[in-house]
Amino acid sequence: MLDRLPVEIVERIVAKIPDTDLIAVSKVDRVWWQEVRQEAYKRWKNYATTIGYVRALGKPFEKGNVDWITFEDVNDFYKRWIDRLTEDQLYIMEKMLRNGMVVDPQERETIEHALSEHRWGGDPWGLGVV
């Protein structure tokens, strides 16, 4: 039944699926695979944009213009937020790679490098928040 839904409905359904289940629904048929691939790329981009915004928010606190207790609290929260966003983004990227959704060799290389860095405890995006 799922393989007979109009594309517009599939788009809406796919947009509501959590990251952890997104790739699994790509197995329904080719239309679902395409929609999941588009949604995964969109989420990948959104995570990258959000990481950039969060990093920009943390810049004033790197300069030490706040009292020590506030700095420690903000810095810890900032690091946890960046770590969580990075893990979510890498999850999407890895699932896309493992399911043949990444066809560009440069993107494939970027993903493999980021996953390797993260596995070895590194900072995949060079943000300095390990």
For residue 87, the tally of other CB atoms under 10 A from its CB is 11
- Residues 79-90: tens digit of each pLDDT: 888 889 989 999
pLDDT of residue 16: 93
- Residues 43-73: tens digit of each pLDDT: 999 998 988 888 787 676 665 555 555 666 7
Which residues have CB under 8 Å from 74's CB, separation 6+? 58, 61, 66
In the predicted structure, residue 112 carries a pLDDT above the cut 90 = yes
Whole-model pTM: value is 0.74
Q: What is the distance of C-alpha 25 from the center of its chain?
A: 18
90-101: average pLDDT: 93
